C-alpha cells in the first residue's frame, strides 16, 4: 500500500483546513452566539441593540479546533488515499473487478469521514461550549474559557463524543457524494485535457481540483439549505452542552440539566445551599440522613426531591465564587419545576410530598400565589388521604374490600416518623399561610381544608431540631386543634384543648418542641359578624375575645427567655436570631393586632358598648412596634443572599397596614 501519491493532497488538505478555520472561526462564533438560547438575555439589550460582549473573544475555543484540526485532516486524507490505494491494488490483483471507481471513492470517503468525525467531535464540543461561556467583568487570559470547559468534561471524558452518531449521520452522505462527484469530475476534466494534447501542469491541476470541488460541493448542496446548516448542527450540540460549563453535568438526556446523573456532580454544593437557605423555613428533611442517602442511593424517589431542591436553591449555588447566571437559573428552574410536578403527582410517597412542598414554598416566595395555591390544595388532601394527619399509633385499622393504596409502610425508626410528622406540619402551615395571605384583613374569619377537618387531625408537635439531628428521641405533646362544634361561640374554650396545659409545662421545662411556626393560634373562633343589638351575642363575643387574648398572652409568657427574644440570648449561638422563632414572635404580634384592632378602633355600631379600647389600642401599638423592630433586626443580621420566609413578609405587611389605617 503506497501513500506517496496522496502526500501532496494530504498536505494541501491540512493547510486548507487550518486556513479556513482561522478565517471562518470568528464568524462561526458570532453565529453560534446568535443562535444560542441565551442570545436575547446575554448578548442583546432590552432596547434591541447588540451588546459588546457579542463580539468579544471571537476565538474562544479555537485552541481545540487548532489542535484537532491537524490530526483530523491528516487522518481523513490518509485514510482516504490509503483506502483508494488498497482498492486499486486489489483490482490490480484481479479482485473486485466489477466495482466501479465511483464506488471506491464513496467507500473511501465514508471510511475517512468516520475517523475524521471521531477526532473532530471532541474539539467541536469543547469549542462550541467555550464560545458561549459567560464572560465576566474581569479580563481572562487567553485560553481561560477553553480550560474551564476542559475541566468540566474531565470527570466524564466519554461525553466529549456525545452527538457523534448525529454528526456522522448528517455529514456522511454529503461527504460520500461530494468526493464521488469530485473524483469523477476531476477525472473527466483531466482526460479532456489529455485528449487535446495538453500536459497538465501543477497550476492546471490546482485549477481543475478547485473547479471539481466547487461543482461537486454545489451539486450536493440543496437549493433550500441554509448556508450555515453544517454550523447549525454544531451549534445545536453547543446549545445542548451550554450548561455544562456551569454545573459540570454531562447527561445524555439533557446535558447541563438534572435529568441524568449530573446532579450528583454538584451534590455537595446543592445540599449546602438547601440546608443553609431553605431548610430553616421548611424543616422537614433530616440533614445527616439525607446526605448519606443521597450519596448511597440513586432511586427515582430521591431524584425528584433533589430536583425540587434545585428549583428552590439553584439561585444560591456558586461556582468559582460566583452565582450562576440569572438567565440559566430562570430557564433551568422553570423546566425542573415542570418535571417535579409531573413526577411528584404520579404517586403517593413522602418524597413526592416533600418535593411539592418545596415547589409551593418557592412559588410563594417568588410571589406566584396563583401557582402555589393549586399545589397546596392538592397537598392538603393528599396528606389526609395518606393518613399523615394522624400519629401511627392512633390510626384505626378499618376493614375494607381492597387494601388502601395510600397506606405507607410503618416507619423503620423514630427519625423517619418524625420526618413524616414534619411533612404534615409544613403542609399545614403552608395551607394556613396561603389562606391568610390572600385576605390578611379577614384573617379571623378564614377557613382551610385541614382546619375544617380538625377532628381528623391527631398529630404530635415536632421535636426540637437539635434532638432530631442528634438522633435523640423524645415524646412531644399533641397540638390542640379545636373541634369546630366544641369551639362554637357560646362555649368556653378555657380548657380546650385537653393537652394545652401539658404543652405549656413541657415548653417551660424542657423545650423539646421544635420552634415551629405552628404558633398560629386560630382566632377563627372569634366571629366577625355579630348582632350587636343582641346582648347575649355581644356577651359571648367579648368572652371569646378575652379567652383568645389570654391564650396569646400565655403563649408568650411560658416561652423560655431565649425564645422570647428570638434566640438572641441562647447559649449555643448568642446574638443570632433564630429564623423560625423570629417568624413565630412576629406572627404572635400580628395575631394580637388582628384580635384587638376591632376593640381598639371600634366601628360606629359598637358605640353603645363599653369596650377596653385604650388598652387594646396600646396592645396593638406595642405589637406593631415589636414586629417592626424584630423584623428590622433580623434582616440587618441576615445575609442578603438568604431568602426570607413569606410569612414574615405577611406579618410585616399586616403591621404596615395597621400602622397606616389605625386611628390615634
CA 598 to chain centroid, in Å, comes to 44
Report how far apart the first and last C-alpha atoms of the chain are (Å, whole number): 104
**Is the Cβ–Cβ distance between 433 and 364 less than 8 Å?**
yes
pLDDT of 351 reads 93
Element holding 323 (H helix, E strand): strand 322-323
pTM flag (> 0.85): no
Cell match 405533646: residue? 477
CA 520 to chain centroid, in Å, comes to 30
Pairwise CA distance, residues 550 & 555, whole Å: 9
Grid cell listed for 537: 351575642
Pairwise CA distance, residues 423 & 442, whole Å: 27
> 44 pairs with which residues across the strands?
50
pLDDT of 545 reads 85
Radius of gyration from C-alpha coordinates of the chain: 36
φ and ψ at residue 377, rounded to 5 degrees? -60, -40
Q: Which residues contact 527 (CB under 8 A, 6 or more apart)?
A: 445, 489, 541
Pairwise CA distance, residues 215 & 184, whole Å: 11
**Is the Cβ–Cβ distance between 523 and 595 less than 8 Å?**
yes
φ and ψ at residue 617, rounded to 5 degrees? -65, -40
Residue 44's SS3 state is strand
Pairwise CA distance, residues 642 & 218, whole Å: 59
pLDDT of 342 reads 92
**Is the Cβ–Cβ distance between 457 and 497 less than 8 Å?**
no
pLDDT of 337 reads 94
pLDDT of 501 reads 41
- CATH 1.50.40.10 range(s) for the chain read 4-241
Percent helix, percent strand, percent coil in the chain, to nearest 5? 65, 0, 35
Closest CA to 274 of 358, 339, 330, 376: 358
Average pLDDT, the chain: 73
Element holding 549 (H helix, E strand): helix 535-557
φ and ψ at residue 460, rounded to 5 degrees? -80, 155
Q: Which residues contact 414 (CB under 8 A, 6 or more apart)?
A: 473
**Is the Cβ–Cβ distance between 161 and 121 less than 8 Å?**
yes
- Fold of the 4-241 domain: Mitochondrial carrier fold (1.50.40)
* Residues of the chain where predicted confidence (pLDDT) is lower than 70: 1-21, 23, 36-49, 57-70, 126-156, 158-159, 161-162, 197-200, 202, 217-265, 297-299, 394-407, 433-456, 480-529, 571-573, 662-664
Q: For the stretch 390-412, what's the b/e string if a residue is b when 16 or more beta carbons lie within 10 angstroms of its beta carbon?
A: ebeeeeeeeeeeeeeeeeeeeee
Amino acid at each position: 500500500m503506497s501513500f506517496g501519491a496522496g502526500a501532496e493532497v494530504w498536505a494541501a488538505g491540512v493547510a486548507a483546513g487550518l486556513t479556513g478555520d482561522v478565517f471562518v472561526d470568528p464568524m462561526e462564533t458570532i453565529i453560534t452566539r446568535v443562535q444560542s438560547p441565551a442570545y436575547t438575555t446575554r448578548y442583546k439589550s432590552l432596547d434591541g441593540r447588540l451588546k459588546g460582549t457579542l463580539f468579544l473573544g471571537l476565538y474562544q475555543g479555537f485552541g481545540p479546533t487548532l489542535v484537532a484540526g491537524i490530526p483530523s485532516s491528516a487522518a481523513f486524507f490518509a485514510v482516504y488515499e490509503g483506502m483508494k490505494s488498497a482498492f486499486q491494488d486489489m483490482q490490480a490483483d484481479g479482485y473486485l473487478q466489477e466495482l466501479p471507481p465511483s464506488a471506491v471513492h464513496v467507500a473511501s470517503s465514508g471510511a475517512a469521514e468516520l475517523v475524521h468525525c471521531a477526532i473532530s467531535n471532541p474539539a467541536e464540543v469543547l469549542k462550541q461550549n467555550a464560545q458561549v461561556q459567560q464572560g465576566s467583568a474581569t479580563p481572562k487570559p487567553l485560553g481561560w474559557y477553553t480550560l474551564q470547559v476542559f475541566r468540566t468534561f474531565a470527570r466524564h471524558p466519554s461525553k466529549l463524543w456525545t452527538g457523534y452518531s448525529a454528526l456522522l449521520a448528517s455529514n456522511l452522505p454529503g461527504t460520500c457524494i461530494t468526493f464521488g462527484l469530485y473524483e469523477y469530475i476531476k477525472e473527466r476534466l483531466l482526460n479532456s485535457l489529455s485528449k487535446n494534447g495538453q500536459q497538465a501542469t501543477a497550476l492546471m491541476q490546482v485549477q481543475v481540483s478547485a473547479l471539481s470541488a466547487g461543482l461537486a460541493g454545489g451539486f450536493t448542496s440543496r437549493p433550500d439549505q441554509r448556508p450555515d446548516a453544517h454550523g447549525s448542527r454544531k451549534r445545536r450540540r453547543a446549545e445542548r452542552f451550554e450548561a455544562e460549563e456551569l454545573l459540570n453535568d454531562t447527561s445524555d438526556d439533557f446535558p447541563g440539566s438534572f435529568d441524568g446523573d449530573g446532579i450528583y456532580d454538584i451534590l455537595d454544593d446543592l445540599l449546602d445551599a438547601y440546608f443553609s437557605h431553605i431548610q430553616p423555613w421548611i424543616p422537614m428533611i433530616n440533614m445527616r440522613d439525607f446526605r448519606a442517602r443521597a450519596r448511597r442511593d440513586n432511586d427515582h424517589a430521591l431524584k425528584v426531591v433533589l430536583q425540587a431542591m434545585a428549583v428552590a436553591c439553584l439561585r444560591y449555588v456558586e461556582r468559582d465564587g460566583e452565582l450562576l447566571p440569572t438567565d440559566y437559573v430562570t430557564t433551568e428552574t422553570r423546566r425542573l419545576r415542570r418535571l417535579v410536578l409531573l413526577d411528584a403527582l404520579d404517586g403517593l410517597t413522602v418524597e413526592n410530598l416533600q418535593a411539592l412542598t418545596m415547589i409551593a414554598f418557592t412559588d410563594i416566595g417568588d410571589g406566584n400565589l396563583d401557582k402555589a395555591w393549586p399545589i397546596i390544595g392538592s397537598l392538603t388532601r393528599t396528606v389526609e388521604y395518606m393518613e399523615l394527619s394522624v400519629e401511627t399509633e392512633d390510626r384505626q385499622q378499618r376493614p375494607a374490600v381492597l387494601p388502601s393504596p395510600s397506606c405507607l409502610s410503618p416507619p423503620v425508626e423514630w427519625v423517619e416518623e418524625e420526618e413524616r410528622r414534619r411533612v404534615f406540619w409544613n403542609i399545614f402551615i403552608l395551607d394556613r399561610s396561603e389562606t391568610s395571605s390572600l385576605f390578611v384583613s379577614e384573617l379571623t374569619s378564614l377557613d382551610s381544608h385541614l382546619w375544617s377537618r380538625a377532628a381528623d387531625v391527631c398529630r404530635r408537635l415536632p421535636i426540637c431540631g437539635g434532638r432530631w439531628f442528634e438522633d435523640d428521641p423524645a415524646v412531644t405533646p399533641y397540638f390542640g386543634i379545636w373541634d369546630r362544634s366544641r369551639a362554637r361561640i357560646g362555649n368556653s374554650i378555657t380548657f380546650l384543648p385537653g393537652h394545652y396545659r401539658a404543652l405549656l409545662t413541657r415548653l417551660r421545662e424542657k423545650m423539646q418542641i421544635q420552634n415551629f411556626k405552628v404558633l398560629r393560634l386560630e382566632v377563627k373562633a372569634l366571629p366577625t359578624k355579630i348582632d350587636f343589638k343582641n346582648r347575649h351575642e355581644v356577651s359571648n363575643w367579648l368572652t371569646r375575645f378575652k379567652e383568645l387574648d389570654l391564650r396569646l398572652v400565655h403563649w408568650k409568657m411560658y416561652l423560655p427567655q431565649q425564645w422570647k427574644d428570638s434566640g438572641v440570648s441562647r447559649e449555643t449561638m448568642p446574638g443570632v436570631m433564630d429564623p423560625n422563632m423570629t417568624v413565630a414572635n412576629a406572627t404572635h404580634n400580628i395575631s394580637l393586632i388582628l384580635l384587638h384592632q376591632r376593640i381598639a378602633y371600634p366601628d360606629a355600631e359598637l358605640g353603645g358598648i363599653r369596650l377596653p379600647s385604650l388598652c387594646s389600642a396600646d396592645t396593638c401599638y406595642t405589637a406593631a412596634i415589636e414586629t417592626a423592630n424584630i423584623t428590622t433586626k433580623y434582616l440587618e443580621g441576615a445575609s442578603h443572599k438568604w431568602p426570607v420566609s413569606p410569612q414574615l413578609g405577611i406579618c410585616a405587611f399586616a403591621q404596615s397596614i395597621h400602622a397606616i389605617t389605625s386611628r390615634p
